[in-house]
Chains A and B, each alone.
Chain A
């Protein structure tokens, strides 16, 4: 069963015009504290990339810079050839409100803390997102919400408010809400970290299906099993820079840098 509306073309990775998402020399400082020091990253269409690294290494900041929840300090992010970061005279400037909305509708985001709207039921969350962001008609939005909830295994909880759902259930609704806007790529920021261990698999299996259906995904995670089995590529982000990247299996099994090895050992023992 596909989680996506459209089946991606088999040669999606060879789409003309190069990779779908390109991050180019991205830096970010908070005051004089530099968090990202020149990150380069690209995601092909349909590719799943795992972002791993020590706490405070800048994973969240990188994801938030990509969809402009944070304004990067310098560098560029390109989605399908379109630059997303506004610059004037070489300096990054805040984009217009309209441009921001457009960027964010094309880039989905799934948060560690779910962030479902507390005053709405699961279904209302998804209906509202479509109507408010895309102007979808009521019936169509509701229809789609029902379908998506079924697909993430939450059809039976459509009328529940977030406070009545477990973490794993909330996160599945949040994924459905993100999917409802038909994003080109979805960013996941430690989607299972705030969930009880026994509930994580329900979220991870939804993500796995999503990956198999051809969704382009960038996933910050501490789940090495997920990185190894689901992601095509793994990126090790440390102290604000990419120290190492490569096919997930080889990077996770035979890291080349000591720092990576040390991190993986700590995780395995943790």
Chain B
């Protein structure tokens, strides 16, 4: 196979992962805010969003957005789909992070007469963020694998390049073993970065 194609493909895989992870982590905040809103319809909307987004396989979303909507480039469709899927998963992670903050912390905020918004911002959210961080990191690591689905709609990322090489050369082993190793390496790098970040965030107070 033509190994010179791999760097570009690897970069594309990394790009899809990083961009959609960023979209997902940010949009997840909006979803969890809606989920915990006092306005009931907003809550229902958030529940419907997380259920439907996670209930439909990512590959179906990819085809729906790329072929069905039909206005996006393959790369654009992939980033949108993985970003939206990640938003639903991140929202669930954030939600359990918020639920993981001890009840006593809320009581202390109340007893001290600290305004709700200040307390949420300075006490609840930082603690929930640290509780959620490991789950977000492992979700993002899992996303690396998911991006391989983008090959089906023609994004020239790792799996796509390997598939084309296999078809051209008739050697179905070298290309897939090679990209398999690259996927593992990419996950490993993310895991190490994530662990370092988590260690920094937790230093000091994590229980």
Contacts and interface: CB of A to CB of B under 8 A. Distances in A.
A and B pair up: yes
A112 to B, nearest CB: 9
Interface stretch (B26-34, B45-53, B59-67, B116-124): B116-124
Interface stretch (A47-55, A125-133, A213-221, A250-258): A125-133
Contact of B127 (A69, A105, A108, A119): A119
Given A161-B204, A161-B205, A115 B104 contact: yes
Interface of A: 67, 69, 97, 100-105, 108-109, 111, 113-121, 128-129, 132-133, 161-164, 177-178, 181
Contact of A69 (B102, B107, B205): B107
B112 A104 contact: yes
Given A111-B104, A115-B107, A118-B105, A133 B112 contact: yes
B113 interface: yes
A121 B112 CA distance: 17
Interface residues of B, number: 23
B207 A117 contact: no
B108 A132 contact: no
Contacts of B204: 121, 161, 163-164
B207 A129 contact: no
Contacts of B110: 69, 100, 104
B189 interface: no
Contacts of A163: 204-207
A159 to B, nearest CB: 9
A109 B106 CA distance: 13
Given A111-B107, A115-B111, A119-B205, 11 more contacts: A104-B113, A111-B111, A115-B104, A115-B108, A128-B122, A132-B112, A133-B113, A133-B114, A163-B204, A163-B207, A181-B113
B119 A132 contact: yes
A181 B207 contact: no
Nearest to B203: A161
A221 B206 CA distance: 30
Contact of B112 (A105, A119, A120, A164): A105
B124 to A, nearest CB: 9
A117 B113 contact: no
A37 B95 CA distance: 38
Cβ-closest 5 pairs across A and B: A105-B113, A104-B113, A115-B108, A115-B104, A161-B205
A109 B113 contact: no
Contacts of B107: 69, 111, 115
Nearest to B122: A128
B206 to A, nearest CB: 7
19 contacts: A97-B115, A97-B116, A101-B114, A104-B110, A104-B112, A105-B113, A111-B111, A114-B104, A115-B102, A116-B108, A118-B105, A119-B123, A119-B130, A119-B205, A132-B115, A132-B118, A161-B204, A163-B207, A164-B205
